[in-house]
């Protein structure tokens, strides 16, 4: 019997969990010819999330959990899920039921047909502001322009991955993770399934615009080094202008014998070039920061306990 691991990162989700379990449970009943594992990654929740998970495990031993020593963020929770999942395929799902479990049979169907990465694409996004929709659309456009790798639009992390993809993703151990771009990067046979994204069932979103901007910048810099090329692109016309201006000034001196208004020119030039320098340093710093983080070679996360056992071998 094939085994499906459902990986659910959870951070302060005490209200959603019972409802979530109810819906998954119903689904598992209908898919009797598969073995299931529901793997929660408790990402340092401050509420009763872990207690509830432990309680649920007592009643249903298909429920497994990885309990982090603190909050490491959803991206890290996802790689931990991949590390601990034992299934032949895994399905990522949010704890807040924004990803309907009822779609799982369809994902599995395509997996059985031979697809390795069956991702759910949002048809609609209920309960999200037009601003969030608009910014996300623009972001995907820009990102796609910057890279050769094909990027899936309007997809979240809700997807099914074959064991091959799981093993591939486990090899990508960078610390500033942008899992979405990794799904694209690994390639393999992809299939999209459309669905309506529901509003979050309980609790509040853990995202805010600052976090989203963070994620967006991470997405671009982890995907491509084209922002580095930006510096060259800006530098070339700048030096062009400088050269022409230089010729102009010299020519004026020689031909018309006219002195330039030095202070104006100097102030403008200083502002102009210091502006460019700051921009360039910013871009270099962006990558330097990444190198710095990677060279530390820290473990991506620390586990407090796995399925009730204290984690010792870290
Ligand atoms: N999450 C997490 N760690 C965090 C933040 C969020 O594991 O630091 C989980 C959260 O419990 C949920 C999923 O990631 O299962 C998506 O979070 P949320 O619903 O807040 O994001 P949104 O759907 O608004 O993008
Ligand atoms: Mg959500």
Q: Are 166 and 85 in contact (CB under 8 A)?
A: yes
Would you say residue 314 has pLDDT above 70? no
Output DSSP code: residue 92: E
Q: Is 11 in the pocket of ligand 1 (CB under 6 A)?
A: yes
Q: Is 69 helix (H, G, I), strand (E, B) or coil?
A: coil
* Gap from CA of 125 to ligand 1 centroid (Å): 16
State residue 127's pLDDT score: 67
Report whether pLDDT(268) > 70: no
Residues 86-117: tens digit of each pLDDT: 999 999 999 988 888 999 999 999 999 999 99
Q: Tokens standing for 237?
A: 């016309």
User: Residue 126: pLDDT above 70?
Assistant: no
pLDDT above 80: residue 209: no
Instruction: Look at residue 17 in the predicted model and tell me its pLDDT.
Output: 92
Q: What is the mean pLDDT of residues 257-271?
A: 73
Lowest mean pLDDT across 50-64, 65-79, 93-107, 194-208: 194-208
Inform me whether the pLDDT recorded for 133 exceeds 70.
yes
Q: What mean pLDDT is reported for the chain?
A: 84
Q: Is 10 near ligand 1, meaning CB less than 6 Å away?
A: yes
155 compared with 4, residue with greater pLDDT: 4
pLDDT of residue 118: 94
- Predicted TM-score (pTM) of the model is 0.75
Retrieve residue 49's tokens: 């999330």
Which residues, other chains included, contact 194 with Cβ-Cβ below 8 Å and sequence gap of 6+?
A: 120, 121, 122, 123
| Across 295-302, average pLDDT | 74
**What pLDDT is stored for residue 177 in this prediction?**
79
Q: Residue 248 C-alpha to ligand 1 middle, in angstroms?
A: 59
Residues near ion ligand 2 (CB < 5 Å) are 94, 96, 98, 200
13: Cβ below 6 Å to ligand 1?
A: yes
Report pLDDT for 248: 78
- Domain boundaries in the chain? 3-209+300-310, 226-295
32 φ/ψ angles, rounded to the nearest 5 degrees: -70, -25
Smallest CA separation from ligand 1 atom 19, residue: 205
Residue (of 27, 31, 35, 37) closest to 82 by Cα position: 37
Domain 3-209+300-310 belongs to what topology? Spore Coat Polysaccharide Biosynthesis Protein SpsA; Chain A (3.90.550)
Backbone φ and ψ of 132, nearest 5°? -65, -40
pLDDT tens, residue by residue, 219-261: 777 777 677 677 777 777 777 777 777 777 777 778 887 777 7
Note whether 73 and 297 are within 8 A (CB): no
Which range, of 30-34, 80-84, 308-312, averages the lowest pLDDT? 308-312
Testing ligand 1's pocket by substitution, the residue of 74, 122, 127, 159 carrying the most ligand atoms inside 8 A of its CB is 74
Q: Where are the alpha helices (DSSP H) in 113-162?
A: 130-146
**Residue 284 pLDDT > 90:** no
pLDDT at residue 313, rounded to an integer = 67
Q: Which ligand is nearest to the CA of 207?
A: 1
Residues in contact with 174: Cβ distance below 8 Å, sequence separation at least 6, in sequence order: 222, 294
* pLDDT on residue 184: 87
């Amino acid at each position: 019997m094939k085994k499906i691991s459902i990986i659910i990162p959870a951070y302060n989700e005490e209200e959603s969990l019972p409802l979530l379990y109810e819906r998954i449970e119903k689904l598992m009943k209908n898919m009797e010819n598969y073995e299931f594992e529901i793997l929660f990654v408790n990402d340092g929740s401050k509420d009763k999330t872990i207690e509830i998970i432990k309680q649920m495990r007592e009643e249903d031993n298909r429920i497994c959990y990885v309990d982090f020593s603190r909050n490491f963020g959803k991206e890290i929770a996802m790689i931990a899920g991949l590390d601990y999942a034992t299934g032949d395929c895994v399905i990522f799902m949010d704890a807040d039921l924004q990803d309907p479990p009822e779609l799982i049979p369809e994902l599995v169907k395509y997996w059985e047909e031979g697809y390795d990465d069956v991702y759910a694409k949002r048809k609609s996004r209920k309960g999200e502001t037009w601003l969030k929709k608009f910014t996300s659309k623009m972001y995907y456009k820009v990102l796609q322009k910057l890279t050769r790798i094909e990027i899936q639009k309007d997809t979240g992390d809700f997807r099914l991955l074959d064991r091959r993809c799981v093993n591939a993703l486990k090899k990508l151990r960078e610390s500033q993770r942008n899992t979405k771009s990794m799904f694209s990067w690994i390639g393999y046979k992809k299939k999209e399934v459309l669905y309506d994204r529901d509003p979050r069932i309980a609790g509040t979103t853990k995202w805010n615009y600052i976090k989203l901007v963070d994620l967006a910048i991470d997405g671009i810099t982890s995907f491509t080094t084209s922002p580095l090329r930006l510096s060259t692109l800006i530098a070339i016309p700048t030096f062009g202008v400088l050269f022409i201006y230089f010729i102009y000034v010299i020519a004026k001196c020689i031909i018309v014998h006219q002195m330039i208004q030095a202070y104006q020119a100097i102030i403008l030039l200083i502002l102009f070039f210091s502006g460019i320098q700051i921009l360039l340093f910013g871009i270099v710093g962006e990558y330097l920061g990444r190198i710095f983080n990677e060279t530390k070679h820290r473990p991506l996360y620390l586990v407090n306990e796995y399925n009730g056992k204290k984690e010792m071998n870290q």
